[in-house]
Amino acid sequence: MAKIGFKQGGRVMLASSAEEQMDTVPRLSGTARKLIMSALFARRIPAGSFVSQGELVELLGIPIQPLRDALRVLETEGIVTIHPRAGIEFVAADMKLIRSTYQFRLIIECAAVRTYAEKAPMGDIEKLLTDHLVLIDEIEKKGIQENSLLRMHEIEASFHGNLIQALGNPLIETTERRLHNYTLLIMVDRRETTPLMIRTLREHIKVLEACRSRNSESAAAALATHLTSAMHRAMGL
């Protein structure tokens, strides 16, 4: 086994090149996972599709072993189902997934917003409110600009992420990341419009105003209304 020498505290230490190679495996599989998710969100891999590992290697230009590692992670996250000797099935953004995702989010986030309303620093709440109001003002005056969708996604992530973090529960945070991926898949085919974006932002503002008043029950009710409306919009209702 090849060895590499280096100095530490005046002594020569040895590290194997094999160990260094092993250290790169998580990084490569992490990169592979990001490439798969990016292709899914960009619709290069259609939601609900059934593909082989070879097709993914060719499509994404990644080695087979990091791809396999990434697929195993994505299977635990509910994004794919691996069928041995048959192929990879990607989750379909159908009515069942929409309903299940938003019902689960209602359970978790309504509990989280009560804690957030009671304990969140007022400065954090005010900043979120300001970010929402600034974006609404810009959209109303100029319409949807080149960076509007990116800022909208950042505000969505910050708003819902802050609620979940208020619980301080790593198990719930892990579950929320899975739900976040599902929500992004559900939203892939939705065309954002000025009225739709403003409506979503104003629903957030109602939640934040209740949090600013430290009214946890009003905050939970406003969030339940928002998530139910978002589910209906995703269903095309």
> Does pLDDT of 198 surpass 60?
yes
Quick one: pLDDT band at residue 228, thresholds 50, 70, 90?
very high
Residue 7 lies in a domain: no
- The reply to whether 78 and 171 lie within a common domain is no
Residue 193 pLDDT exceeds 80: yes
Mean pLDDT value across residues 208-213: 98
For residue 49, give its domain range: 26-90
Residue 72 maps to which CATH number? Answer: 1.10.10.10
**pLDDT for residue 56 is more than 50:** yes
Domain boundary among 90, 105, 126: 90
103 and 75 in a single domain? The answer is: no
Q: Same structural domain for residues 100 and 79? A: no
The b-or-e profile of 185-206 (16+ CB within 10 A means b, else e) is bbbeeeeeeeeebeebbebbbb
Residues 74 and 57 both lie in one domain: yes
pLDDT reported for residue 158: 93
Say yes or no: 108 and 206 in one domain: yes
- Assign residue 182 the CATH number of its domain: 1.20.120.530
Domain end, chosen from 34, 63, 90, is at 90
In a domain, residue 44? The reply is yes
- Assess whether 119 and 201 both reside in one domain: yes
Residue 185 sits in the same domain as residue 147: yes
- The average pLDDT across 70-85 equals 89
pLDDT by residue (tens digit) across 1-25? 443 343 444 443 333 443 444 344 4
Does residue 18 form part of some domain?
no
For residue 89, what are the β-bridge partners? 50, 81
Question: Residue 69: inside a domain, yes or no?
Answer: yes
> For 27-36, 42-51, 128-137, which range has the lowest pLDDT when averaged over its residues?
27-36
Quick check: 211 and 221 in contact, CB under 8 A? no
Averaging pLDDT over each range in 42-51, 157-166, 191-200, which range is the top one? Answer: 157-166
Task: State pLDDT tens for residues 24-36.
Answer: 445 667 888 889 8
pLDDT at 48: 87
Task: Specify if 101 maps to a domain.
Answer: yes
Please tell me whether residues 72 and 130 are part of one structural domain: no
pLDDT, mean of residues 192-196: 87
Containing 85, the helix (H) or strand (E) segment is: none
Q: Are residues 194 and 231 both part of a single domain?
A: yes
Mean pLDDT of the chain: 85
Q: Is residue 78 assigned to a domain?
A: yes
For residue 186, CA distances in Å to 36, 45, 159, 175, 227 come to 16, 14, 18, 17, 14
Note the pLDDT of residue 4.
36
Last residue of a domain, one of 61, 90, 119: 90
Judgement on whether residues 35 and 53 belong to the same structural domain of the protein: yes
Distances (CA, A) of 208 to 71, 111, 167: 38, 15, 17
The domain tally of the chain equals 2
Q: Which of 33, 4, 30 is nearest to 16 (CA)?
A: 4
* Share of residues in the chain with pLDDT > 90 (%): 50
> What pLDDT was estimated at residue 26?
52
Residue 47 included in any domain = yes
Please indicate, yes or no, whether residues 108 and 153 belong to a single structural domain of this protein.
yes
75, 189: one domain? no
pLDDT digits (tens, 9 = 90+) for 136-187: 999 998 888 888 888 888 999 899 999 999 999 999 988 888 888 888 888 8
Buried b (16+ CB within 10 A) or exposed e, 101-131: bbeebbebbbbbbbbbbeebeeeebeebbeb
Within a domain: residue 5?
no
